[in-house]
Amino acid sequence: MKSGFVGIVGRPNVGKSTLLNSILGEKIAITSAKPQTTRNAIRGIWTKMDGKQPVCQLVFIDTPGVHKPKNKLGTYMTDTAIGTLKEVDAVLFLVDGPYEDNGGDAFIIGKLREVSTPKILVINKIDRIDPQQFGDIYRTYEAMGLFDAIIGTNALEGKNVDVLLDKLADLAQEGPMFFPPDMITDHPERFLVSEIIREKLLLYLEEEIPHGVAVEIERYEELPDITRIYAAIYCEKQSHKGIIIGKGGRKLKGIGKAAREEIEALTGSKVYLELFVKVKERWRDSSIAISNFGYKKE
């Protein structure tokens, strides 16, 4: 039996959460086109079976995108990502374009040089990169002498994800089985539900507002024929509250409907979802608020 923990790191929007979902074959990490979608370290569990016998289990940790923080929440997110490098058995470093000496990739490379764990460079979104550019990116990173393998993927379509998993399985060491073979995440349903609601907010809202939004599950009742969920959406300005609710409450109803449908698919039961919008000014710079909303180191 082989096992280990694998950290997924990279700049915002390179496809880390999409890759995790592709590896698992199910959606446990929310995705959007907006940067800084992932705020917590999301854990996904992949188990390779030989018939009925598990032979390898990898616990993937999808981290927030590494960026220059503008508030305490941003600092927490970047610290979470960088801290993961020292806690895992292997690292996947995702990029989706050319290396920049003074950019976020260079900062991550510096941190990767500080750890001795195996590292794989994943050049994602290869469907958007022409062969010559891919070759240039490949050779630039290969010359660093830092990576055990360099693999091109299209995480959205699952291209070469099997190749990546085979390489990680080869690198894995003998170890215990951490979770049951049919388990794909250790996060509770309440967490996944709050993330689904936040994803719909990201999709429905424009500009800066989504980054100032947090979701708190106030009540979660699992009844025999229905699951009742009451969730508070926190924003930082009174004007943002009106935008989230929308004219006649239409935007909030649309967010709720989209979230409810996905939550029903997750739970396998009928769901009653009620959303409230509250204002908590500058919560992203409040250590207490950040902790209360679940953004804290375990």
109-161: pLDDT as tens digits: 998 999 999 999 999 999 999 999 999 999 999 999 999 999 999 999 999 99
Please list the residues that pair with 235 across neighbouring strands.
279
Instruction: Give SS3 for 11.
Output: coil
Q: Are residues 164 and 205 in the same domain?
A: no
Whole-number Å distance between alpha carbons of 48 and 168: 11
Out of 174, 206, 240, a domain closes at 174
Is residue 203 located within the same domain as residue 269?
Answer: yes
Token code pair at residue 226: 């229905």
- Domain final residue pick, 174, 197, 230: 174
Domain with 170, as residue range(s), is: 2-174
CATH of the domain at 56: 3.40.50.300
Segment 60-110, tens digit of pLDDT:
988 876 656 566 766 766 777 777 788 899 999 999 999 988 778 988 899
Taking the C-alpha atoms of residue 77 and residue 296, their distance in angstroms, rounded to an integer, is: 9
Burial 120-151 (b: 16+ CB within 10 A, else e): bbbbbbbeebeeeeeeebeeebeeeeebeebb
Indicate whether 118 belongs to any domain.
yes
Cα dihedral 71→109→93→262 (10° resolution): 10
State the total domains in the chain: 2
The answer to whether residues 29 and 151 belong to one domain is: yes
For residue 195, give the CATH number of its domain: 3.30.300.20
167 and 197, same domain (yes or no): no
- Quick one: 150 and 220 in the same domain? no
What's the confidence (pLDDT) of residue 188?
Answer: 86
